[in-house]
Amino acid sequence: MKRTQSVFTLLVEVGRSPDDGLPKRATGAALLCYASGVDEAEAVRETVAVLKQAEMSPLDVTGYGTLAEREAEGHEIDADERVLMERALAENAVIVAQATPFYPEDD
């Protein structure tokens, strides 16, 4: 019996590592990801593995559920976001949709 894949929306906080590609002054970043998996736990595992392969340092992952779950909670999901979710499902992939670097506060 084949288990059905879904796409999960994940927010991943990453710290710094030498070759992570983040801006020099950044202390880390928040990455908005869409990841396919048979459940959220698998999507999280795959996302962490992909980010580690990309020389990133995942610290924390917050799951926001599937498209249907987010819609049921009243989230507005635009066409661009839906396209990325469909791509993640079609390619059985992790897609980083947005990266927001964190910078130290000026003292």
- Which pLDDT value is given to residue 3? 75
Question: Is residue 42 one of the residues assigned to a domain?
Answer: yes
Question: Is residue 46 one of the residues assigned to a domain?
Answer: yes
Instruction: Return d(Cα 94, Cα 45) in angstroms, integer.
Output: 11
Percentage of the residues of the chain whose pLDDT score is greater than 70: 96
Question: Is residue 1 one of the residues assigned to a domain?
Answer: no
Q: Could you read off the pLDDT of 55-79 as tens digits, one per residue?
A: 999 999 999 999 999 999 999 999 9
Question: Is residue 54 one of the residues assigned to a domain?
Answer: yes
Question: Is residue 107 one of the residues assigned to a domain?
Answer: no
**Number of domains comprising the chain:** 1
The owner of tokens 């288990």 is: 3
